[in-house]
Structure 1
Amino acid sequence: MVSWKNKWFVVAKLQLRRQARLRREYLYRKSLEDQERQTAERKLKIKEALDSDKPIPTDLRQEALALQKSLEYDDEGGEGITSHIDDEYRWAGVEDPKIMVTTSRDPSSKLKQFAKEMKLIYPNAQRMNRGNYEMTQIVQACRANEVTDLLIVHEHRGEPDGLIICHLPYGPTAYFTLSSTVMRHDIPDVGTMSEAYPHLIFHNFKSKLGKRVMNILKYLFPVPKDDSKRVITFANQDDYISFRHHVYKKVDNGKDIELQEVGPRFEMKLYEIKLGTLENADTADTEWRLKPYMNTAKKRKFLSDD
């Protein structure tokens, strides 16, 4: 007779095999993106040359006939080539996200309080004590409970200084530094924390990387109702993202709007995006990394086109 321990071992082994298979399929689809994108660009060049009655570029003349025949099967529908981003956020807006918030090991009382306030920011969020759990155990537990995003806050000498956002089950994982953190209880005349789904305001996320970061932050929140009186703002200035949290009410018979900050408030700065989850971050591809010691680093703005 098979014991329950052997049954649990078999089920766990099958789950690990399934996760590994899904991960391989995701990586394979991602590896095909560059090839498909290059083919689409060559087709577009040939189509533009034929439509404008111009000579076909010399580097495309050998394969021009084959590409022209394949153009007959391309339609006008859709938005072009699908990417790994479509796999990452396929259920965004359809199902509400499920957030897990935790801390680094041996957190101070201030970091614990900050984690509690972060849990109140995100609807459908839960907070977990880190304890002695390994990162692999945490990620596997989150996957088993259908958690969509894992948030980890770090500190330095009692001050929150880091935020990691890991999207499950495939990634990406975004790394931010935190600065100028002000807790809720440090804000004078702080308002009550509403549990309504918030409206989101994103300012100055114009570049391709900026839109990528905007999606990572946006999909942490469910779709709000029209009558929600809660507003969360992500304002980018010089690649520093200011986080502000307000509730509002209408006064003077709806002629004016009165804002009230409910906190917390802090500044975020992106320094890395990994195409993977936290347990395999060392081997995952790096989508983007901040290089502050380059000569042109001070002049460039990565999240905006300025």
Structure 2
Amino acid sequence: MQAVKIRSFGDAHGLAVVDMPEPVVGPGHVLIETEAIGVGGVDAVIRRGTLGTGFAVGLIPGSEVAGRVIEVGDGVDPTWIGQRVWAFTGLSGGYAERAIAAVDDVTSLPADLSMIDAVTLGTAGPVAHFALAHARFTTGQSVLVRGAAGSIGIMAVQLAAAGGAKEIGVTTSSPERGHRLRAFGATSLLDRSGKRHEGGESAPSDLVFDLVGGEAMPTFFEHLAPNGRMVSVGVVAGYPPADFGMPLMRAFQKSLSFGTFSLDTVPVLERNLVRADQFEAAARGVLRAVVHDVLPLAKAEEAHRRMDAGEVFGRIVLTP
């Protein structure tokens, strides 16, 4: 089968298409013939070699796929065979014509939901849902989504709007991208530094939903209202400076707080139930998947170059 491997860490040129043996299905797992593969920010961070230890040259990146189950391992109900599914493959293994997933990380797809939409929503939707809950978001609060043009950011905007947010600010690289987010519920548009595209100062927010990280992350504590919370959901721009917590201490009298969120801390059953509900909502048109482009698997390098350049609005999907 064809797959994409990391031949060297760094820029997108480090990705290579290779031929390799089909994976072997173990107990409790299924083999999926992939029809859509999500390209996510975590894939780029792993490819750059900045996520930490545990990743070696030769890794097949990719965390989520959609396709049909073609084989099951010992202990797995054989009725899975032939089903249309979304699956989480871990932090590797997805960029391939066939992929392995634990059956507990597999969700059946509604008949009216495309596999391309499934890999656009499958991780992004639950991350946004549980991160907002983790940050104690409630109706009537204001939210600022930093890095809102990606698939998780777009879902966070949609869910905050559906949850009755008073205001939803978004940071984007251009006014045009910000205006596109108005269709999903955004009410104020900010540039990457946090200044309003339309001019003037933005109102303080009860919650900053941060997908970016990087050197500028601490400056966004200034956007929090008293008792405000920032939750870090991603670090696509790298880790913040070591002293990033100092603005919190300097604003001690505002009672600000900071937290991180990973979907790994949510029990599998809970996230599967939320994901299934979101898939049904998307099939009915209540939630919208935003697909920037669909490229063949062999163009994974191009997908990563475009993601690194900040060109992507929504998600790029690969197809074998």
TM-score (norm 2): 0.23
Q: Max radius of gyration: which structure?
A: 1
Larger RCO (alpha carbons 8 Å, 6+ apart): 2
TM-score (norm 1): 0.24
